[in-house]
Amino acid sequence: MDDTMDDTGKVYSPTEIKTLRHELANALKSHANMVDELVEDADELRYQLAVASGNLENTTRKLVEIKHQLYDLCQLVLRVGTRLISWEKRESVATLEEEVAEAQRFISTVGGQLWDGARETVEQWRQRNPHESLDN
Protein backbone atom coordinates (compact mmCIF):
# COMPACT_ATOMS: atom_id res chain seq x y z
CA MET A 1 0.00 0.00 0.00
CA ASP A 2 1.32 3.43 -0.98
CA ASP A 3 1.68 6.18 1.70
CA THR A 4 -0.84 8.26 -0.20
CA MET A 5 -3.46 5.50 -0.37
CA ASP A 6 -5.98 4.69 2.39
CA ASP A 7 -7.46 1.28 3.29
CA THR A 8 -10.19 1.64 0.65
CA GLY A 9 -7.70 2.26 -2.15
CA LYS A 10 -8.35 6.01 -2.41
CA VAL A 11 -5.21 7.89 -3.37
CA TYR A 12 -4.62 11.31 -1.80
CA SER A 13 -2.68 14.11 -3.42
CA PRO A 14 0.10 15.85 -1.47
CA THR A 15 -2.20 18.90 -1.09
CA GLU A 16 -5.00 16.74 0.37
CA ILE A 17 -2.53 15.09 2.74
CA LYS A 18 -1.27 18.50 3.85
CA THR A 19 -4.87 19.67 4.38
CA LEU A 20 -5.74 16.52 6.36
CA ARG A 21 -2.64 16.95 8.54
CA HIS A 22 -3.58 20.58 9.15
CA GLU A 23 -7.17 19.57 10.07
CA LEU A 24 -5.82 16.86 12.37
CA ALA A 25 -3.50 19.35 14.09
CA ASN A 26 -6.43 21.77 14.55
CA ALA A 27 -8.62 18.97 15.92
CA LEU A 28 -5.89 17.95 18.39
CA LYS A 29 -5.44 21.58 19.48
CA SER A 30 -9.21 21.98 19.86
CA HIS A 31 -9.38 18.75 21.86
CA ALA A 32 -6.55 19.93 24.14
CA ASN A 33 -8.37 23.24 24.69
CA MET A 34 -11.61 21.41 25.55
CA VAL A 35 -9.75 19.19 28.01
CA ASP A 36 -8.16 22.26 29.63
CA GLU A 37 -11.60 23.90 29.94
CA LEU A 38 -13.06 20.74 31.46
CA VAL A 39 -10.21 20.59 33.99
CA GLU A 40 -10.83 24.25 34.90
CA ASP A 41 -14.57 23.58 35.26
CA ALA A 42 -13.86 20.54 37.44
CA ASP A 43 -11.54 22.62 39.65
CA GLU A 44 -14.22 25.31 40.01
CA LEU A 45 -16.86 22.69 40.85
CA ARG A 46 -14.55 21.13 43.45
CA TYR A 47 -14.05 24.56 45.01
CA GLN A 48 -17.80 25.27 45.02
CA LEU A 49 -18.45 21.86 46.58
CA ALA A 50 -15.89 22.58 49.32
CA VAL A 51 -17.52 25.96 50.02
CA ALA A 52 -21.01 24.42 50.05
CA SER A 53 -19.81 21.64 52.33
CA GLY A 54 -18.33 24.18 54.74
CA ASN A 55 -21.54 26.23 54.67
CA LEU A 56 -23.60 23.09 55.29
CA GLU A 57 -21.40 22.11 58.22
CA ASN A 58 -21.64 25.61 59.68
CA THR A 59 -25.42 25.70 59.18
CA THR A 60 -25.80 22.25 60.75
CA ARG A 61 -23.78 23.33 63.78
CA LYS A 62 -25.94 26.46 64.15
CA LEU A 63 -29.13 24.41 63.82
CA VAL A 64 -27.95 22.04 66.56
CA GLU A 65 -27.23 25.04 68.80
CA ILE A 66 -30.68 26.46 68.07
CA LYS A 67 -32.27 23.05 68.73
CA HIS A 68 -30.66 23.00 72.18
CA GLN A 69 -31.76 26.58 72.81
CA LEU A 70 -35.31 25.74 71.77
CA TYR A 71 -35.27 22.77 74.14
CA ASP A 72 -34.11 25.12 76.91
CA LEU A 73 -36.87 27.52 75.91
CA CYS A 74 -39.46 24.74 76.15
CA GLN A 75 -38.18 23.87 79.62
CA LEU A 76 -38.38 27.54 80.60
CA VAL A 77 -41.94 27.80 79.26
CA LEU A 78 -42.88 24.71 81.27
CA ARG A 79 -41.35 26.28 84.40
CA VAL A 80 -43.25 29.52 83.76
CA GLY A 81 -46.44 27.52 83.27
CA THR A 82 -45.81 25.71 86.53
CA ARG A 83 -45.20 29.05 88.22
CA LEU A 84 -48.45 30.39 86.81
CA ILE A 85 -50.30 27.45 88.30
CA SER A 86 -48.50 28.04 91.58
CA TRP A 87 -49.21 31.76 91.37
CA GLU A 88 -52.87 30.97 91.06
CA LYS A 89 -52.37 29.24 94.37
CA ARG A 90 -51.09 32.57 95.73
CA GLU A 91 -47.35 32.16 95.11
CA SER A 92 -45.12 35.21 95.09
CA VAL A 93 -45.80 37.69 92.28
CA ALA A 94 -42.12 38.72 92.35
CA THR A 95 -40.99 35.15 91.59
CA LEU A 96 -43.41 34.96 88.69
CA GLU A 97 -42.23 38.32 87.31
CA GLU A 98 -38.64 37.11 87.59
CA GLU A 99 -39.48 33.94 85.62
CA VAL A 100 -41.34 35.95 82.95
CA ALA A 101 -38.41 38.39 82.62
CA GLU A 102 -35.98 35.45 82.27
CA ALA A 103 -38.21 33.92 79.60
CA GLN A 104 -38.37 37.23 77.71
CA ARG A 105 -34.57 37.62 77.81
CA PHE A 106 -34.09 34.08 76.57
CA ILE A 107 -36.67 34.46 73.80
CA SER A 108 -35.11 37.72 72.61
CA THR A 109 -31.64 36.09 72.61
CA VAL A 110 -32.82 33.10 70.57
CA GLY A 111 -34.83 35.35 68.24
CA GLY A 112 -31.80 37.57 67.71
CA GLN A 113 -29.61 34.57 66.95
CA LEU A 114 -32.19 33.23 64.49
CA TRP A 115 -32.38 36.65 62.81
CA ASP A 116 -28.57 36.97 62.67
CA GLY A 117 -28.26 33.45 61.26
CA ALA A 118 -30.87 34.14 58.59
CA ARG A 119 -29.17 37.40 57.65
CA GLU A 120 -25.78 35.64 57.44
CA THR A 121 -27.25 32.88 55.26
CA VAL A 122 -28.79 35.44 52.89
CA GLU A 123 -25.50 37.36 52.72
CA GLN A 124 -23.55 34.17 51.91
CA TRP A 125 -26.09 33.32 49.21
CA ARG A 126 -25.79 36.82 47.71
CA GLN A 127 -22.00 36.54 47.65
CA ARG A 128 -22.19 33.19 45.82
CA ASN A 129 -24.94 34.39 43.43
CA PRO A 130 -24.30 38.13 42.86
CA HIS A 131 -26.48 38.34 39.75
CA GLU A 132 -29.52 36.51 41.16
CA SER A 133 -32.35 37.82 43.28
CA LEU A 134 -34.01 36.11 46.24
CA ASP A 135 -37.36 37.03 44.67
CA ASN A 136 -36.87 34.44 41.87
Sequence letter at residue 133: S
Least confident of 7-11, 59-63, 85-89: 85-89
Distance CA 21, CA 16 (A): 9
Global pTM value: 0.43
Q: What is the pLDDT of residue 105?
A: 82
Q: pLDDT band for position 1 (50/70/90)?
A: very low
Asked whether 72 and 106 are in contact (CB, 8 A), the reply is yes
- Nearest 5°: the CA angle 2, 5, 10 is 145
Instruction: Report the 10 Å Cβ neighbour count for 99.
Output: 19
Q: pLDDT band for position 133 (50/70/90)?
A: low
Closest CA relative to residue 72, chosen from 88, 84, 64, 60: 64
Per-residue pLDDT tens over the stretch 93-126: 667 777 778 878 877 777 777 777 777 777 777 7
